[in-house]
């Protein structure tokens, strides 16, 4: 049974909430504010009781797939288990009910938590300092690129070109542009990695501000010449921006600091397991080298004589990239995760992530085509070229997986692989779960040969069938209107 | 030793065997020694009970409004938080899901966000709204950047100095990168933005916040008029005000945006909250952020899907309308739950109660002059107002000793604001709490 | 996909929890305790990680129907909405983390809560006092009957007969027997109510200790002569025990005190909306008349000079019926419910419950047979006699309802209705939900005529199909054994 | 006025119309005036925020072990509580469901309880266990009543005076009604039940608790021997002891029963906890309470169902094996979650840590004699022991002032116990906490 929109469940006169007693003199807002500033009741807001609200969202929730249901192999998204203790801790009154503008003396616990998280991230990345302010990975990219821009300006340089490999996430070019740069793509090598020679050629222009690169890249392949690339960049006065979306592949094994990164954003909602929330909130702290430290957003948390304080007095700072100090509630969860695992556990999880991905790579290699043969770490990218002859695309395979009770892999990138199936099992999965996934993928490969129509019309058992996405885009309906009302 | 978050100790050995490896180390062979690290400079993993102990200790080192009477606001407000909200957000189906890229198994998130978009439209009287942004500050930025895309020949942005100082600071950062010129508008004796310096013909946008950071309700009709061809942007930092105040949409604004935290999200030391963004239909394809649209599935039944993603970074890359990817979906869900519970009556009642209680307090405080003084006694305010005082931080410290978080010192927000305390009142504050503040200020100010 | 038993998910060496640091000297338990007292690891306990536990119970949960899914019309069970605020409050550290044996001075808040709940229940029932100790309705029945027994002994009377109408819940006779009484059934009148003449005849024996009666009875019919029956009982020195399972029908309208009840148990998990938890915990406070007050279980909470105290000094008390003071966590929820609704809300809910039930009665009457015509309050009992000619039983109808996404009505009693369908919608349901239920019931009535096989083999869309209950009882398998192990 | 828990204001009018009524009052016509009431003596309904305020105030009026160091036990123990447990119990699918009478839509509850039954069997080394009882006290009662059904010709029950005093008090209440004669066994100088007075040939059952209420581990082999033909019943009040101590099942006991609270359920001022009951297969049809059994569905797949309900009140009425209906299913689920997390290693580690820490504390306290004195220094104890002291309640009050909940005064439990303090130690107590207690006792005792 479909669940109506909450607006369609409305019954006039019903209430879903009661406010605390109204214990002051009533006012006439037309008088206190002026009639032209005031509105009346908003006609189309719903009138529903509490139980109806509870049931509405309960039923909606049942149409979602989630990590708690099973394997969620969305490549590049690191859909790992979200520990319940972290949810408990983020809800502690002493964290959730703290106002950001209380005097510092009243929020020492919150400031300490931020300071401790920064220290932990410094330890993990080998970088000089970290800003916790950005709200998401892409936001971190932007903050990082703004720091690079400011550093260049500080040197009096007007460089404007940012190099980005063709395998990169779409956020990289977008963020570079929003930071005021021009983007130039570099083609990957046949091994799927950075073409260092191409980089060298590009650097000769003198206009290169930075290279933005994901390590390991979106194929899951480690960039073997990353340190060399960094040296080349630095030598030419350019910066290395590292996209940390795939940090889960090497925590405790290698460090961006040693790779020569100048800025690196860290998706706390990936590597450090804060819940994705159906699309956020996440957090995208940016770790920087000494070179970029002066440009960090304000404020930063400092510890002075055992007292934690917010330092706004940073003349070279890029300023602020959002309100207050970042997604504090996400920081609580991430630090709890880091402390729960510790140095031993973090490395064990890295190994598990890479073992799991390589298990899938080997187990699926006879059924799906592997476009790049380079060794991979925490994820593996197949393509649909063996299924294409039967008219079956990566999308069809993805949709059919939903019928088998799994989430689909990433199919929209990397752009260098046509018909990609980018699979990242993460460290949370048991062999039993991986085996079940392999069985499903094998069955689908067979179905592709024997009954391609079944895949092309998949999914069949989900709450809704395949959607008309073209219609959604051509005749956009982006909100509910009451029956009979015209969309203006 | 195995860790509790890691399935399958035996699995490890079996996978190694399957791969023909002796140790997981072999899988990292492609990583050169020069970038390797030894042991991380972190403690050993802690038991759940130990982590709980540490975090509780840190949490206990913060003072909260739960223990004290609170009049804190200035962008983060303490309204009622229905228990149902957190019960919904705690459903693993919602909080452990990813962005709904596979709509067939994500209708829960998608429909809820479609409802969020509708709520934003109803509150702002705008025809379209997006699926959320990070916060109020970045919502303002996105509005200005959209305006710049729409008026590519212009570079000036007239922005009220009375938008929330953090929003203004953020806008400055982004504007610099976008090579936009920010012209900051001062305020007049009534605490309203001085519109006389606006030159709309040169501008991409005119940005005001209402109620502004000093609590005063702006004259949106005048702002709209002063904006001319430039995009008019209303910022809302106290979203519950939309339950009582006529929104920008009614005055023909081009964008109404801001933060929805006030509808029941916990302050959380500043985040996560949730930005919102509503605009006119004709700007649809220049909008930032995700959009959920209604369509039908293969069986013809109504269903929801992320749409118009050709605007977005993962398709459009360098030409995207915004670089946003992860947004604040779960917070948008929380606000959707709270708005559903409040409903038609509750949204207005809550705003009216907040306003009436603030008026009560304002009236009582007026009697304390000249010790403390209302900055703009004649100006319309919703639920927040500025009390002038020479040493606001000291005053607040004294109040805190008496168990009252008396408000936010303007010095904490921005140096250009008049010295004093911003006092915010919500429906949660009782008359008795207001009286306590008046009494304490009478003695301490 | 079926979810295996947790024992079947085990992988040797996996852990799902880490204990706090072991910070004292290790001991050899064979030495400290003696080898013969000590056991080793328990071989068959599972070894699973945290995420596997989370997913296991997440998946299990998805096979349950629950109030949050929709209408749950189990007659006599009062499956109403369980407010979320009550869950929040019961989990407050100051309630959940309080030990029952702390000094009274350290638990004044907990004692006050119990005292306030007793006052509220006294106000609602019009009785003299209330014990909160019983853990469930049946437990309350037993406690009540033990008090009656003790009161009789106190008078030196050895009466042993308890009269129970044939429409009663099964717990009534069972509880009476466990309190040491003999049960004698009284047939109901043709209106389905107590036969007062039969009662009069039975009372002549002089051996009648009490009448146990449910008001309104299990047909939903109010006992019109209850006060008269009480007077007759009292005149003969017998007691009136009232089963409060159906209290939801008349809170704020009538009172057991005025009806002449001597003891009445109250299912907090029905009328006062504490969650049923898949079968408990509930709570079954017993309200008593002045006559039975001396016999209340110890302790009772007293308020003396503003201080709350546990009074054990009650020489005539029946003693204790369980450990400590009762299901305190349930009391928190019930009192929160009562205070949330208040005098106005409680009555409004009673009216809603009765309106909803009468709506269903009227709407379904042309499709299902109503064996008793008396007016009903909060529930209504149909039977399957119109469907029987097609070979369709009440069970089949119940199972088919599951396919329509509703829970089934009660089908196991009252015993005076053969093939009963006992429907109690409660006050939580909107008309829209009721209408959907009526549509389903109508459709089923039609299916019974046109396609009875469909009903006899229902349900068809549930996580499992109809179960072999005979096999379960004949060859009981009540626990898991490791593969290969014999059941001993 | 409508209430937030009540759907459909408009519905009310529409239903009245449908029924042809003017007012709901007409539906109550069958209720005579003489039993009617006017307005209930209760306040008007309160807003959620107001209820929250009141309950928080009451909660704050209690001292908890979260704020202090705690050595409280005596039937309610403070072990680790994994966050996962409450997350599972908070799933509405579990906590808002009814007893699984319709197994096709209740497999979640049914399978979880089947797992609970298995855990009880594994912990007790007994072949069958039921789906839960209210608590330890009523579990003991049910054991004795079952024994009486199995030996209908006998009336005597030999019961150790060292079972938990509340269990004993409850047993007395029920035994009187069942006309059973309780013979209470004293204890010897080692703090163990004196078995010499047992006459098994006259008895329906012999009941001991191990570890007993003074913390001493009983000699179960001797108890079994002394029980002869009578049913031997082991009571367990500290269930985590089953992780370390050989259970009654190993010694041929007929019943092992008690309370599982120690496996992670919050104390909740005494309830809800969860009783358990395990016995031999041959007594299956005389068992009290619900049972979940495995069977197959119409498609032949494994499924679970309530079974052997012909023993139960709703079928058998006056002849039922127990009057229990609602049991403590959700608490059983909680324990099942905790046991699943602890697993094979954790169950033993937790018990061993509790024991080792108790031994550490015992050893250190021994040095404080004669101020305080271990009652049974030579006897084996698991994680709880008795410290003799003349004025235990005063001593505890002094400790409490120093932030230590030092244990339970025996005077609080029963007058017949030796005066002193029962001290319980769990894996949650740190060495430093133990040292604090020793230090404080050294100064205050």
pLDDT at D65: 84
Read off the DSSP letter of residue D333.
H
Taking the mean position of all CA atoms in its chain, how far away is CA D83? 21
Tell me what the pLDDT averaged over chain A comes to: 96
Residues D145 and D99 in one domain: yes
Residues A166 and A284 in one domain: yes
Q: Do B3 and C15 touch (CB under 8 A)?
A: yes
Is the minimum CB–CB distance between B66 and chain C shorter than 8 Å? no
Model confidence over D430-440: pLDDT tens digits? 999 999 999 99
Q: Do D49 and B428 touch (CB under 8 A)?
A: yes
- The reply to whether A458 falls in a domain is yes
Residues D207 and D243 in one domain: yes
Looking at residue B319, which CATH number applies to its domain? Answer: 3.40.640.10
Is the minimum CB–CB distance between C51 and chain B shorter than 8 Å? yes
Q: Which of C11, C52, C58 sits opposite B10 (nearest CB)?
A: C11
Residues 204-243 of C with CB under 8 A from D: 221-222, 224, 226-227
- The reply to whether C488 falls in a domain is no
Over residues A88-103, mean pLDDT: 97
Cis peptide bond N-terminal to A152, omega within 30: no
pLDDT at C2: 77
Q: Which residue of D has its CA nearest to A82?
A: D84
Angle, helices C431-450 vs C328-364, to 10°: value is 60
pLDDT at D313: 74
Residues B282 and B414 in one domain: no
Give contacts of A431 with chain C, Cβ < 8 Å.
Answer: 11
Q: Do A52 and C430 touch (CB under 8 A)?
A: yes
Residues C54 and C123 in one domain: no
pLDDT at A485: 67
Residues A421 and A273 in one domain: no
Question: What are C99's two structure tokens?
Answer: 């030990």
Residues D282 and D315 in one domain: yes
Residues A336 and A360 in one domain: no
Nearest CA to D440 out of D360, D351, D372 is that of D372
Residues B116 and B184 in one domain: yes
**What is the percentage of chain C residues whose pLDDT exceeds 70?**
99
Q: Which of C99, C139, C297 sits opposite D65 (nearest CB)?
A: C99
Looking at residue B420, which CATH number applies to its domain? Answer: 3.90.1150.10
Question: What are A264's two structure tokens?
Answer: 């690196």
Give contacts of A45 with chain B, Cβ < 8 Å.
Answer: 119, 122, 339, 342-344, 347
Where is the domain boundary, B286, B317, B336? B336
Where is the domain boundary, A307, A340, A373? A340
Where is the domain boundary, D301, D318, D336? D336
Tell me what the pLDDT averaged over chain B comes to: 96
Over residues C373-400, mean pLDDT: 97
Model confidence over D6-16: pLDDT tens digits? 987 788 999 99
- The reply to whether B6 falls in a domain is no
Is the minimum CB–CB distance between D10 and chain A shorter than 8 Å? yes
pLDDT at A488: 45
Residue ranges with strand state E in B193-264 = 203-209, 231-236, 255-259
B8 — alpha (psi -120 to 50), left (phi > 0) or beta? left
pLDDT at D369: 87
Give contacts of C49 with chain B, Cβ < 8 Å.
Answer: 2, 4-8
Residues D264 and D115 in one domain: yes
Residues A246 and A373 in one domain: no
Is the minimum CB–CB distance between A294 and chain B shorter than 8 Å? no
Sequence-distant (≥ 6) Cβ neighbours of residue C292 within 8 angstroms: C144, C147, C148, C151, C239, C262, C263
pLDDT at B371: 86
- The reply to whether C478 falls in a domain is no
Question: Domain of D163?
Answer: 83-336
Give contacts of D15 with chain A, Cβ < 8 Å.
Answer: none
Model confidence over D129-164: pLDDT tens digits? 999 999 999 999 999 999 999 999 999 999 999 999
Residues A121 and A21 in one domain: no
**What is the percentage of chain B residues whose pLDDT exceeds 90?**
92
Give contacts of B48 with chain C, Cβ < 8 Å.
Answer: 17-18
Q: Do A17 and B343 touch (CB under 8 A)?
A: yes
Residues D331 and D253 in one domain: yes
Residues D87 and D75 in one domain: no
pLDDT at C485: 67
Residue D409 CA neighbour count, 13 Å, CB half: 19
Give contacts of C468 with chain D, Cβ < 8 Å.
Answer: 295-298
Residues C366 and C424 in one domain: yes
Sequence-distant (≥ 6) Cβ neighbours of residue C295 within 8 angstroms: C146, C147, C150, C151, C154, C288, C316, C317, C318
Question: What are C124's two structure tokens?
Answer: 């609602």
Where is the domain boundary, B287, B317, B336? B336
pLDDT at A183: 96
Report the residue of C91, C426, C430 to disrupt the A interface, i.e. the one with the largest count of A CBs within 10 Å.
C430
D261 contacts C324 by C-beta, under 8 angstroms: no
Q: Do A50 and C405 touch (CB under 8 A)?
A: no
Please determine, for residue C487, whether its predicted confidence score (pLDDT) is greater than 70: no
pLDDT at C418: 95
Model confidence over A104-151: pLDDT tens digits? 999 999 999 999 999 999 999 999 999 999 999 999 999 999 999 999
Q: How confident is the model at residue C488 (pLDDT cuts 50, 70, 90)?
A: very low
Q: Which of B10, B86, B87 sits opposite C12 (nearest CB)?
A: B10
Please determine, for residue C1, whether its predicted confidence score (pLDDT) is greater than 60: no
Give contacts of C349 with chain D, Cβ < 8 Å.
Answer: 3, 5-6
Model confidence over A193-216: pLDDT tens digits? 999 999 999 999 999 999 999 999
Strands D181-185 and D156-160: parallel
Q: Which residue of D has its CA nearest to B91?
A: D91
Distance CA C111, CA A413 (A): 62
Taking one residue from A and the other from B, the number of pairs with CB-CB distance under 8 angstroms is 705
Tell me what the pLDDT averaged over chain C comes to: 96
Residues A137 and A284 in one domain: yes
Residue A332 CA neighbour count, 13 Å, CB half: 31
- The reply to whether A482 falls in a domain is no
- The reply to whether A216 falls in a domain is yes
Residues D256 and D290 in one domain: yes
Sequence-distant (≥ 6) Cβ neighbours of residue A425 within 8 angstroms: A71, A73, A353, A356, A357, A359, A360, A434, A437
pLDDT at A487: 54
Give contacts of C354 with chain D, Cβ < 8 Å.
Answer: 24, 27-28
Question: Domain of A132?
Answer: 85-340
Q: Do A50 and D4 touch (CB under 8 A)?
A: yes
Residues A388 and A276 in one domain: no
Nearest CA to A99 out of B214, B420, B413, B57 is that of B413
pLDDT at A1: 53
Where b means 16+ CB within 10 Å and e means fewer, B294-313 reads: bbbbbeeeebbbbbbbebbb
Please determine, for residue B153, whether its predicted confidence score (pLDDT) is greater than 90: yes
Is the minimum CB–CB distance between A473 and chain C shorter than 8 Å? no
pLDDT at A238: 98
Please determine, for residue B65, whether its predicted confidence score (pLDDT) is greater than 90: no
State the total domains in chain A. 3
State the total domains in chain B. 2
Taking one residue from B and the other from D, the number of pairs with CB-CB distance under 8 angstroms is 23
Please determine, for residue C425, whether its predicted confidence score (pLDDT) is greater than 60: yes
Residues B387 and B331 in one domain: no
Distance CA D258, CA D275 (A): 6
- The reply to whether A316 falls in a domain is yes
In order, the DSSP letters of D86-147 are HHHHT-HHHHT-----SGGGBHHHHHHHHHHHHHHHHHHT-SEE-S-BS-HHHHHHHHHHHH
Please determine, for residue D257, whether its predicted confidence score (pLDDT) is greater than 70: yes
Looking at residue C392, which CATH number applies to its domain? Answer: 3.90.1150.10
Model confidence over A160-202: pLDDT tens digits? 999 999 999 889 999 999 999 999 999 999 999 999 999 999 9
Distance CA A417, CA A372 (A): 9
pLDDT at C483: 81
Residues 117-156 of B with CB under 8 A from A: 117-119, 121-123, 127-129, 131-132, 134-138, 145
- The reply to whether B359 falls in a domain is yes
Q: How confident is the model at residue A464 (pLDDT cuts 50, 70, 90)?
A: very high
Residues B276 and B257 in one domain: yes
Residues C281 and C198 in one domain: yes
Residues D159 and D143 in one domain: yes
Over residues C117-144, mean pLDDT: 97
C85 contacts C340 by C-beta, under 8 angstroms: yes
Residues C335 and C425 in one domain: no
Q: How confident is the model at residue B372 (pLDDT cuts 50, 70, 90)?
A: confident
Q: Which of A14, A22, A142 sits opposite B353 (nearest CB)?
A: A22
Question: What are B23's two structure tokens?
Answer: 């140790």
Residues comprising chain B, all counted: 445
Q: Do C179 and D177 touch (CB under 8 A)?
A: yes
Sign of CA dihedral A318, A323, A325, A326: negative
Question: What are B348's two structure tokens?
Answer: 């207005």
Please determine, for residue C33, whether its predicted confidence score (pLDDT) is greater than 70: yes
Q: How confident is the model at residue D314 (pLDDT cuts 50, 70, 90)?
A: confident
pLDDT at C352: 96
Give contacts of A11 with chain D, Cβ < 8 Å.
Answer: 7-11
Residues A333 and A367 in one domain: no
Q: Do B83 and D428 touch (CB under 8 A)?
A: no
Q: Do D49 and B80 touch (CB under 8 A)?
A: yes
Over residues C152-178, mean pLDDT: 94
Is the minimum CB–CB distance between D36 and chain C shorter than 8 Å? yes
pLDDT at B391: 95
| ipTM given for this complex | 0.97
């Amino acid at each position: 049974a479909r669940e109506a929109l909450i607006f369609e469940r409305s019954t006039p006169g019903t209430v879903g909430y009661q406010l605390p007693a109204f214990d002051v003199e009533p006012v006439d807002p037309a008088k206190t504010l002026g009639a032209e500033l005031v509105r009346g009741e908003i006609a189309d807001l719903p009138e529903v009781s509490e139980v109806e609200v509870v049931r509405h969202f309960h039923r909606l929730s049942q149409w979602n797939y989630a990590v708690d249901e099973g394997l969620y192999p969305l490549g590049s998204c690191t859909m790992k288990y979200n520990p319940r203790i972290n949810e408990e801790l983020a809800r502690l009154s002493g964290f959730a009910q703290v106002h950001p503008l209380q005097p510092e003396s009243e929020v020492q616990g919150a400031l300490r938590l931020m300071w401790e998280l920064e220290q932990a991230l410094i330890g993990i990345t080998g970088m000089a300092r970290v800003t916790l302010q950005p709200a998401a990975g892409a936001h971190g990219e932007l903050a990082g690129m703004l720091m690079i821009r400011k550093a260049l300006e500080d040197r009096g340089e007007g460089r404007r070109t940012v190099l980005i490999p063709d395998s990169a996430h779409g956020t990289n070019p977008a963020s570079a542009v929003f930071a005021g740069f021009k983007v130039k793509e570099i083609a990957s090598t046949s091994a799927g990695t950075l073409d260092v020679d191409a980089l060298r050629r590009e650097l000769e222009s003198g206009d290169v501000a930075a290279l933005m690169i994901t390590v390991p890249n979106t194929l899951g392949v480690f960039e073997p010449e990353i340190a060399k690339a960094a040296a080349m960049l630095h030598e030419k006065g350019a910066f290395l921006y590292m996209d940390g979306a795939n940090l889960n592949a090497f925590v405790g094994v290698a460090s961006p600091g040693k790779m020569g990164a100048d800025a690196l954003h860290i998706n706390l909602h990936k590597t450090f397991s804060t819940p994705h929330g159906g699309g956020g909130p996440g957090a995208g702290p940016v770790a920087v080298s000494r070179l970029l430290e002066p440009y960090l957003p304000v404020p930063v948390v400092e510890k002075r004589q055992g007292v934690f304080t917010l330092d706004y007095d940073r003349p070279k700072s890029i300023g602020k990239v959002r309100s207050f100090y970042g997604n504090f509630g996400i920081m609580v969860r991430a630090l709890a995760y880091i402390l729960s695992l510790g140095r031993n556990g973090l490395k064990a999880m890295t190994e598990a992530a890479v073992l799991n991905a390589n298990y899938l790579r080997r187990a699926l290699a006879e059924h799906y085509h592997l476009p790049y043969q380079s060794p991979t770490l925490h994820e593996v990218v197949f393509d649909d070229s063996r299924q294409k002859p039967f008219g079956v695309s990566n999308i069809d395979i993805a949709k059919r997986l939903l019928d088998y009770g799994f989430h689909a892999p990433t199919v929209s990138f990397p752009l260098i692989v046509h018909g990609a199936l980018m699979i990242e099992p993460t460290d949370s999965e048991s062999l039993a779960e991986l085996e079940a996934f392999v069985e499903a993928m094998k069955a689908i490969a067979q179905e592709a040969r024997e009954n391609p129509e079944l895949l092309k019309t998949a999914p069949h058992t989900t709450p809704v069938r395949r959607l008309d996405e073209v219609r959604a885009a051509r005749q956009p309906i982006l909100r509910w209107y009451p029956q009979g009302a015209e969309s203006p | 030793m195995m860790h509790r978050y890691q399935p399958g100790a035996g699995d490890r050995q079996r996978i190694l065997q399957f791969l023909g490896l002796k140790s997981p180390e072999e899988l990292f062979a492609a990583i050169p020694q020069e970038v390797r690290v030894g042991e991380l400079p972190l403690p050993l993993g802690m038991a759940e009970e130990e982590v709980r102990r540490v975090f509780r200790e840190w949490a206990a080192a913060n003072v909260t409004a739960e223990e004290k009477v609170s009049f804190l606001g200035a962008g983060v407000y303490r309204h009622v938080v229905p228990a149902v909200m957190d019960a919904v957000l705690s459903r693993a189906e919602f909080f452990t899901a990813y962005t709904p890229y596979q709509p067939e198994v994500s209708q829960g998130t998608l429909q809820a966000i479609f409802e969020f978009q509708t709520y934003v439209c109803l509150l702002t009287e705008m025809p379209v709204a997006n699926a959320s942004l990070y916060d109020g500050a970045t919502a303002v930025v996105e509005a200005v950047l959209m305006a710049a895309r729409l008026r590519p020949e212009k570079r000036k942005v007239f922005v009220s100095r009375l938008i929330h100082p953090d929003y203004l600071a953020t806008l400055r950062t982004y504007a610099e990168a976008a090579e936009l010129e920010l012209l900051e508008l001062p305020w007049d004796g009534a605490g309203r933005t001085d519109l006389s310096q606006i030159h709309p013909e040169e501008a991409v946008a005119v940005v005001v916040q209402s109620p502004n950071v000093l609590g005063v309700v702006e004259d949106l009709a005048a702002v709209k008029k002063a904006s001319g061809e430039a995009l008019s942007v209303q910022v809302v930092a106290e979203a519950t005000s939309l339950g009582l105040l006529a929104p920008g949409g009614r005055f023909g604004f081009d964008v109404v945006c801001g933060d929805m935290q006030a509808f029941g999200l916990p302050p959380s030391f500043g985040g996560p909250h949730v930005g919102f963004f509503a605009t006119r239909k004709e700007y649809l394809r220049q909008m930032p952020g995700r959009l959920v649209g209604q369509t039908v599935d293969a069986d013809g039944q109504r269903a929801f899907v992320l749409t118009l993603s050709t605007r977005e970074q993962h398709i459009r890359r360098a030409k995207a309308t915004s670089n946003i990817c992860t947004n604040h979906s779960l917070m948008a869900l929380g606000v959707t739950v709270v708005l559903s519970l409040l409903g038609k009556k509750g949204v207005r009642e809550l705003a009216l109660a907040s306003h009436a209680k603030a008026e009560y307090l304002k009236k009582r405080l007026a009697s304390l002059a000249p010790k403390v003084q209302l900055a703009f006694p004649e100006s319309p305010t919703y639920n927040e107002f500025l009390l002038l005082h020479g040493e606001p931080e000291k005053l607040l410290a004294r109040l805190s000793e008496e168990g009252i978080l008396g408000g936010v010192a303007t010095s904490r927000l921005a140096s250009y604001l008049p010295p004093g305390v911003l006092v915010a009142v919500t429906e949660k504050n009782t008359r008795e709490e207001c009286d306590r503040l008046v009494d304490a200020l009478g003695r301490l100010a």
